[in-house]
């Protein structure tokens, strides 16, 4: 099936599932953004379009985030009641004994991985940490980061969710922006901070990181407080093609 036809089919399915409340409302807008991005990528590269694959992906993410940002509600954070135990994570949803953490490690390794003897865990591979630009060979040196931290999701509307939705967010393998493998030390320096208080030390990933932050929040219908929204907007404007 041609790529455009497949995306159109998926778009229709997302719209239908949104209408009947099966998936979060933000998915519909993100599906339209994917359709627009796909349509543009099918056109010949013009003189003002980036030719690098990375630059093209970053530019598309920034453009999509700028479209989504005005649709995100602005409200004060809800600071009470967060408990990490209320967000079940690293579950094995498909029953293949490889949980969500190791599924991410498997998908992001740039060479064949080595499994544990039982075949359920990833031990070695090759990973580029986008937060720092460092390369890692041992899975134990990596964290799988929730791009929007669980505590931030709680403060931004997730406190209203039931345990099932929280588990879906915490183990989201459907959107590659949601979970990424990064060095354990830099992930712990990030903690539960948003872009207004923390940015990746690797400058070339900052624009994509902030764009992905917006797109994950939009997908899950999460809010921003005013300080976060202003910081994110300023960074994305600086990332635009005219900057």
Average pLDDT value for the chain: 85
Residue showing tokens 């134990």: 140
Question: Average pLDDT in the 182-199 region?
Answer: 98
Greater confidence, 176 or 55? Answer: 176
Which run of H or E residues covers position 183? strand 179-183
Q: In whole angstroms, what is the distance from residue 34 CA to residue 29 CA?
A: 9
Q: Is the pLDDT of residue 182 over 70?
A: yes
164 confidence band (pLDDT: 50, 70, 90): very high
- What pLDDT, on a 0 to 100 scale, did the predictor assign at position 168? 98
Q: State mean pLDDT over 40-53.
A: 38
What phi and psi, each to the nearest 5 degrees, are found at residue 51? -100, -20
Farthest CA pair distance, the chain: 52
Per-domain boundaries in the chain: 52-239
Strand order in the sheet with 122-128: 114-115, 122-128, 135-138
In this prediction, residue 44 carries a pLDDT of 34
pLDDT over 60 (residue 181): yes
pLDDT in tens, 53-63: 567 778 999 99
DSSP string, 121-166: SEEEEEEE-TTT--EEEEGGGEEEEESS-HHHHHHTTGGGS-HHHH
Q: Which among 144, 201, 202, 143 is positioned nearest to 176, based on CA atoms?
A: 144
Would you give the end-to-end CA distance of the chain in angstroms? 39
Q: To the nearest whole percent, how much of the chain has pLDDT over 70? A: 77
What is the rounded CA–CA span in Å between residue 232 and residue 213? 9
- Supply the pLDDT for residue 51: 38
CA distances from 126 to 19, 29, 66, 132, 228 (A): 41, 34, 33, 15, 34
With CA atoms as reference, report the closest residue to 149 among 205, 100, 104, 82: 82
Per residue in 58-111, pLDDT tens?
899 999 999 999 999 999 999 999 999 999 999 999 999 999 999 999 999 999
202 or 15, greater pLDDT = 202
Residue 132 in this model has a pLDDT that exceeds 50: yes
Q: How confident is the model at residue 8 (pLDDT cuts 50, 70, 90)?
A: very low
In this structure, of 45-54, 75-84, 173-182, the range with the lowest mean pLDDT score is 45-54
d(CA 89, CA 82) in angstroms, rounded, equals 15
Name residues whose C-beta falls within 8 Å of residue 226's C-beta, 6 or more positions apart in sequence. 74
Residues 6+ apart with CB under 8 A from 9: 1
Cβ count within 10 A of residue 148 = 25
Question: CB-side exposure of 79: number of CA atoms within 13 Å?
Answer: 2
> Is the pLDDT reported for residue 31 higher than 70?
no
């Amino acid at each position: 099936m041609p790529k455009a036809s497949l995306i159109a089919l998926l778009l229709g399915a997302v719209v239908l599932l949104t209408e009947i409340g099966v998936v979060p409302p933000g998915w519909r807008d993100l599906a339209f953004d994917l359709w627009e991005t796909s349509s543009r990528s099918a056109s010949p590269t013009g003189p003002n379009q980036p030719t690098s694959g990375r630059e093209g992906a970053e530019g598309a993410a920034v453009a999509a985030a700028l479209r989504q940002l005005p649709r995100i509600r602005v409200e004060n954070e809800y600071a009470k009641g967060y408990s990490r135990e209320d967000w079940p994570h690293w579950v094995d949803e498909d029953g293949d004994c490889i949980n969500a953490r190791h599924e991410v490690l498997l998908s992001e390794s740039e060479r064949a991985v080595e499994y544990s003897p039982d075949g359920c865990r990833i031990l070695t591979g090759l990973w580029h940490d986008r937060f720092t630009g460092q390369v890692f060979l041992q899975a134990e040196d990596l964290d799988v980061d929730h791009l929007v931290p669980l505590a931030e999701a709680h403060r931004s509307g997730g406190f209203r969710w039931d345990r099932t939705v929280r588990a879906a967010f915490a183990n989201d393998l459907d959107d590659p922006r949601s979970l990424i493998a990064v060095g354990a030390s830099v992930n712990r320096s990030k903690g539960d901070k948003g872009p207004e208080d923390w940015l990746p030390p690797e400058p070339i990933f900052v624009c994509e990181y902030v764009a992905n932050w917006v797109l994950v929040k939009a997908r899950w219908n999460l809010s921003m407080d005013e300080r976060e929204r202003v910081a994110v907007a300023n960074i994305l404007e600086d990332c635009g093609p005219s900057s």
